[in-house]
Structure 1
Amino acid sequence: MICNSFVQHMHDEVEAGVITVGLSAVLMDISLAAVAVSRIVNRNVFDSLVMVPETVNTHGEKQHRLDMKAHDIFVSFLKKGKRCNYLISEECEDTIDLHNDLYDDSVYTVCMDPLDGSSNIDVNVSVGSIFSIYSQEWQSKAGLTPIKSGQEQRVAGYVIYGTSTTMVITFGTGVYGFTLDYVTGEFLLTHPNIRLSKSGSSYAINEGNSEDFPHQIREFLAFCKQSDFENNLPYKSRYVGSMVADIHRTLLQGGIFLYPSTSTHPKGKLRLLYECNPMAYIIEQAGGLAIDGMRPILSIPVLKNHQKVPFIAGSYNMVKKVLNLYSNESINNHVYYSC
């Protein structure tokens, strides 16, 4: 069986008018950077023998030595490609101006978590990169048009570095998975037209925080653990602790991923622009749902680069069950999170 290459797929999408030449060029730069990041992740066990002082990122979180390496790799490839104008990265407080000239009136902004789940690297658990691309306009008087919500995404995707390196992307016309062939160095189409099953049999959540969850989430977890053979209950608990790994399994096998608000983190811990929005776009394009409890993730107004939101996504029927639990109450009575 001969698989289409990512390069050929991009060419076909441009020819069909699905994406522009500029968008395809930015995507190619991201794919090339992902190959380089895949190599440093695979070499981690050897490089870790050299002691490196622990650092903290701009959000006060512990930073793995590969976090900034991955960030620097993506910055380098996007800058050399000359098509991406701005980068919003988890590893940088401010928007990065790549000083690339405009080819037309479009301004391409990439929002990215360069290395999601990096705390799992040293125990050989799958990690990944998450990204989305926005096409904005430059208005001479008003400046750059702001990103209003995730509905404006032109492309979203993630790369998972596991037993194989796989890139999953959507242009708003379905979801496709490409796996890196280490012999040729190319991404090949291995998962055409990914569809998320309407119902699943597993849930992914850090139940160690269950006492701090809103009662709607605790009620849903109690439902998941019921014994009801006819309705495929109880569900299986499957939690890796790496968003990319948990979403990838959910996407391919069905199920639900939950990272809700807690009393100590009333707005959740995941970032809207470069974690929740791209994952929500992918999940919805595959036939699933993504909400913060009350609202679709993609409808949430973007207020700042590192904005946090609760995140619940996966198979349609399972997420709808959670939505119904929240909808039974007014948003004003939401235990922790208020719009």
Structure 2
Amino acid sequence: MTDHHQTNLMTLTRYVLEEQRQHPDATGDLTIAMNAVQLGCKFVEACVRKARLINLVGLAGNTNVQGEDQKKLDVLSNEMFVNALKASGKFSFMVSEEVDDIVVVPEELRGKYCITFDPLDGSSNIDAGVNVGTIFGIWRLPSGPRATVEEILVPGSEIIAGGYCMYGSSCNLVLTFGGNRVEGFTLDPAIGEFILTHPDIRIPPRGKIYSVNEGNSMYWDDATRAYFDSLKAPPADSGRKPYSARYIGSMVADVHRTLLYGG
């Protein structure tokens, strides 16, 4: 919870507005788009927190585009994000892991951005209380609201904003606007705002852990297998200690830990 003795809080909305002011030619469209993203994150966080109480655990009876069984919370989270993003009027296309086809926004609500997202990554672990999260990336369409579906196929370097929101003991939203800075925000439930708590995150140059699904090691090539063997059993004359294995199985949780502590 935020220290309420502080009166000059850097909220996510304030941060995005300050970023906007640094670019005189900015239209404010990305600010509105990010407000829609954080609204979706707040809604999902509230549902994850109450999932067992309001019967949102268990299967919905469908599979997603990856062939994974959809949970009830998967479906609800996807609907919330699609509706929030569509209502912002800043997106023309949405690509969700939970939907087979590209979501095409009605012409009267179309904007100059496309977004790809997984509304609830790691949901197979939700019944066990493991951290889950939302992953998203936003990029500008060359033709703006008049763009065609073919224009969404761009390299990752074209992403202008991206990040993830992790739902667990706290709700953490980590994002970047395509520069060198990665910022971390924590949701204060008392005021309903994301507060900047981890400014300018830098991954440590060397960590003490490795995070990988070793159940797939039989499919690794020789170089990959040799690399992980060197982490677990470094040469005696190297002076390095063996790395410890830490693998949750939820991408957002594993990435978040590695980003903060290295590895």
Fold conserved between structures, TM > 0.5: yes
Within a 5 Å distance, the mapping from 1:152-191 to structure 2 comes to 152-173=158-179, 174-191=181-198
Give 1:203's aligned residue: 210
Q: How far 1:6 sits from its partner (Å)?
A: 0.8
User: Which whole-Å deviations, capped at 9, do the CAs of 1:36-78 have from their partners, x for residues lacking one?
Assistant: 0001111112234887653322332111111111100001111
* Aligned alpha-carbon RMSD (Å): 2.4
- CA distance 1:153–1:53, shift in 2 (3 Å): closer
**Is the 1:3–1:190 Cα contact (8 Å) retained in structure 2?**
no
Within a 5 Å distance, the mapping from 1:1-339 to structure 2 comes to 1=6, 2-17=8-23, 20-48=27-55, 54-99=61-106, 101=108, 107-138=112-143, 143=148, 145-173=151-179, 174-227=181-234, 228=236, 231-255=239-263
- CA distance 1:14–1:200, shift in 2 (3 Å): same
Q: Percent identity?
A: 37
User: Which whole-Å deviations, capped at 9, do the CAs of 1:24-45 have from their partners, x for residues lacking one?
Assistant: 1111100011000001111112
- CA distance 1:177–1:53, shift in 2 (3 Å): closer
Give 3-state SS (helix, strand or coil) of 1:46's partner.
coil
5+ residue gaps, structure 2, are 1-5
Give 2:3's aligned residue: none
* Counterparts of 1:141 and 1:153, CA distance in 2: 19
Higher mean displacement: 88-97 or 138-147: 138-147
- CA distance 1:141–1:179, shift in 2 (3 Å): closer
User: Which whole-Å deviations, capped at 9, do the CAs of 1:69-99 have from their partners, x for residues lacking one?
Assistant: 1100001111111112210000112110122
What is the number of residues matched between the two proteins? Answer: 253
**Is the 1:82–1:100 Cα contact (8 Å) retained in structure 2?**
no
* Counterparts of 2:122 and 2:93, CA distance in 1: 24
* Counterparts of 1:49 and 1:149, CA distance in 2: 36
Q: How far 1:14 sits from its partner (Å)?
A: 0.4
Give the partner amino acid of 1:238.
R
* Counterparts of 2:52 and 2:146, CA distance in 1: 51
5+ residue gaps, structure 1, are 256-339
Q: How far 1:237 sits from its partner (Å)?
A: 0.5
* Counterparts of 1:232 and 1:186, CA distance in 2: 43
TM-score normalised according to structure 2 size: 0.88
* Counterparts of 1:169 and 1:139, CA distance in 2: 23
Give 3-state SS (helix, strand or coil) of 2:52's partner.
helix
Give the partner amino acid of 2:163.
G
Q: How far 1:192 sits from its partner (Å)?
A: 0.4
